[in-house]
Structure 1
Amino acid sequence: MSISAYGKPLWKSITWRGLLQWVLVAFFALAGLLNMLGTAALLAEYRRWGYPGWFHYVTGTLELSSALLQARRTTAKVGAALGAAVMAAAFLTLVFHREWLHAAFPLTVFFALIVSRTTIQP
C-alpha cells in the first residue's frame, strides 16, 4: 500500500476536487488531440457550424494549452479560465445552432471547471 506524505494511504489523501481537476486535465488533453487530428465527422460538424476549415486547429491548440496550464499548480487557474472560455464558446455555438442536448456537455464542463477551482471558505 502506498503511503502519502501525510502518513495516510494514498487513496485516502485524494480529494474529490483534486480528482475532478485531473479528470478535467485529461478531458482537455484528449479533446485537444482529437481536434488537432480532425476526423471527418468532426470536420463536417465545424463546416455545418460555419467555421473555416482550419478552425479545429485553433480549438485543439486552446484545449491542449488549457490542459497543460491546468496541470501546473502555478498556472492552474489561468488554464481553467481558458478552458471555461473554450467551453462557453462551444456552448454558444451549439445553442445558436439549436443543438440543445449537445449543448449540455460543454455547459457541464464549464461548471465543473468553476467548481474545481473555487475555494469555499467557511
Structure 2
Amino acid sequence: MRTLAWRKGLAWALVAFFVLGGVMNIVAPPSVADEYMRWGYPYWFNYVTGALELASAWLLSRAATRAAGAVLGMVVMTAALITLFIHSDWSHAVLPALVMAALSIILAAQFKQLKTSVTASGTSH
C-alpha cells in the first residue's frame, strides 16, 4: 500500500508541475516570453510548449495513460534541457533534470506494474 501511495503522490506532484508550467507558458508573462525570444524560438513556440505540458499533466493524472504522460513529459524536459545546455543556462537546468528523474521513476514503476500484472494473469490459467 505504501508503494502505491508514493507512486500516486509523485505522479500528482508531476501533474501539478506540468499544469503550472503549461499555464505559465501559455499565459507567457514578459519574463517567459523574453526567455523564448532570447533562445531564438518563434513567438508562438511557448504555446506549443504549454499545450504539450498540459497534455502531459492530463495523461499523468490517469493511471491508464500515466506511462504515456511520463514519456511525453520526458520529451518536453529533454527539449528544455537541450535548450538550456546550448545556452549554458546551467542554473535553470537543475529543475528539468530532477523532473526527468521523477518521470523515469514513474515510467519504471508503470512498467514494473505492467510486468507484474502480465505475469499474474499468465499464471492464473
Query: Does the TM-score normalized on the shorter chain lie above 0.5?
Result: yes
State the SS of the aligned residue for 1:50. coil
State the match for 1:19 in structure 2: 9
Match of 1:96 among 86, 90, 93: 86
In 1: Cα distance, 2:78 partner to 2:87 partner: 14
How much has 1:14 moved relative to structure 2? 6.1
State the match for 1:48 in structure 2: 38
In 2: Cα distance, 1:111 partner to 1:59 partner: 20
In 2: Cα distance, 1:26 partner to 1:65 partner: 12
State the match for 1:34 in structure 2: 24
In 2: Cα distance, 1:14 partner to 1:65 partner: 23
Matches within 5 A, 1:2-17: 15-17=5-7
In 2: Cα distance, 1:37 partner to 1:26 partner: 16
Give the paired residue count.
111
What are structure 2's unaligned runs of at least 5 residues? 114-125
AA of the residue aligned to 1:79: G
State the SS of the aligned residue for 2:43. coil
Alpha-carbon contact 1:77-1:117 (below 8 Å) kept = yes
Match of 1:82 among 72, 76, 87: 72
Say whether residues 1:59 and 2:59 are aligned partners. no
Q: Provide TM-score, normalisation by structure 2.
A: 0.82
Higher share in helix = 2
In 2: Cα distance, 1:13 partner to 1:54 partner: 41
What are structure 1's unaligned runs of at least 5 residues? 1-5, 7-11
After the TM superposition, which segments of 4 or more aligned residues of structure 1 sit over 4 Å from their partners? none
In 2: Cα distance, 1:74 partner to 1:18 partner: 13
How much has 1:15 moved relative to structure 2? 1.9
Two-structure CA RMSD over aligned residues (Å): 1.8
AA of the residue aligned to 1:57: Y
Alpha-carbon contact 2:67-2:106 (below 8 Å) kept = no
